[in-house]
Amino acid sequence: MSRQNQWIAGINAVSAAVEHDADNVREVLLEAGAKNPRIAEIESNARRRGIDVRRVAQQALDGVAGGLRHQGACARYAAARTWDESELQGLVEAAGGRALVLVLDGVQDPHNLGACLRSAAAAGATAVLFPKDKAVQVNATVRKTSAGAADRIPVVPVTNLARSLRDLQKLGVWIYGLAGDAGTSLYGIDLRGNVALVLGGEGDGLRRLTRETCDQLVTIPMPGGDAAAGVESLNVSVATGVSLFEAVRQRAG
C-alpha cells in the first residue's frame, strides 16, 4: 500500500480541497500580491483549519502546477492510498470465502468513480479494481465525491485488467460481468460467496477481452425501459450501487 503527495492547481480545486478535505491538504501556496478576493478567502479558510499557507512568486506556482492553469493557487495534497496488485490475494483470503470485489472497466468521469467508491465502501466491498491506463484515477474530485471512501476501502489500480480477473479466478472468485445483452438476471444468481462484479465505462460498457474473461454475464432488469438497452441505460454509479446491494441483500439473508 502506498501514498504519495500530489499537487492540485486552480482556485476551485484548492478551495474545494480546503473546504471538504482539509485533513489531507498539507500546505497551500498562493500568489504573492494577488488581488482576487477568492485567493484571500482560501487563505482565511486554510489558516482557520490549521493548514500551512505560503505566499510565493508566480514562477513558483508555475513550477508546482506542472503546466496546469493555477490562477494563483496550488495545494500539496495527500494522494489517496492505493494498494498493489500483489496485495489482492491477501485481501481475498482475509474475506473468508465472502469476498466482494468491484471491478470498473474504464470509468472516465471522476464523479462516477467517486460515487462508485462510496457505494463500495457502504456495501463493505473487499476491494475496488480499475485499470491504470485509459481510466480516471483517484484524484481530488474523486475523493470529494466519494465522501472519504477513497481512503477507507482498498483501491487497486491494475496494469492488465484481464490478467487480474484471471488471478481472481485462481483464488476462487466468480466473475460476473454486467451487460445489457445478457440473458440472465442479476437477481437470479447467487452472490453470497467469493464474487467480483465487473462494470464497464460510460461509453461502450465492458471491453471485449473483459467480457470474454468473465465467468458469466448478467443484466439488471428494467421493466420501465428498453430491455435491449440493459445496464448501459443506467449510469455506471447507479448500476454499481444496485449490483453491490443485491449482494448485500443476499448475504444478509
Q: What is the pLDDT of residues 5-14, one digit of tens each?
A: 778 888 988 8
Beta strand extents in the chain (DSSP E only): 5-9, 25-31, 52-56, 73-78, 100-105, 127-131, 155-158, 174-178, 195-200, 216-218
**Which CATH number is correct for 85-252, 1.20.1080.10, 3.40.1280.10, 3.40.50.1970, 3.40.50.720?**
3.40.1280.10
Q: Express each pLDDT in 160-182 by its tens digit.
A: 999 999 999 999 999 999 998 89
Grouping H, G, I as helix, E, B as strand and the rest as coil, residue 52 is: strand
- Tell me the CA end-to-end span of the chain in Å, nearest whole number: 33
Residue 4: pLDDT band with limits 50, 70, 90: low
Domain ranges of the chain: 5-78, 85-252
Q: Return d(Cα 39, Cα 145) in angstroms, integer.
A: 23
Residue 1's pLDDT is what? 60
Domain 5-78, classified CATH 2.40.50.90, yes or no: no
Residue 233's pLDDT is what? 67
Residue 157: pLDDT band with limits 50, 70, 90: very high
Query: Average pLDDT, stretch 49-64?
Result: 95
Q: Are 30 and 72 in contact (CB under 8 A)?
A: yes
Q: Express each pLDDT in 62-102 by its tens digit.
A: 999 888 789 999 999 877 678 999 999 999 999 999 999 99
Binding site listing for S-adenosyl-L-methionine? 200, 220, 234
Residue by residue, DSSP assigns 76-136 as EEEPPPB--GGGHHHHHHHTTT--EEEEEES---HHHHHHHHHHHHHTT-SEEEEESSSS-
Residue 231: pLDDT band with limits 50, 70, 90: very low
Binding site listing? 200, 220, 234
Q: Which residue has the higher pLDDT, 41 or 14?
A: 41
Q: Which residue has the higher pLDDT, 20 or 64?
A: 64
Q: Is the pTM of this model over 0.75?
A: yes
Residue 12's pLDDT is what? 84
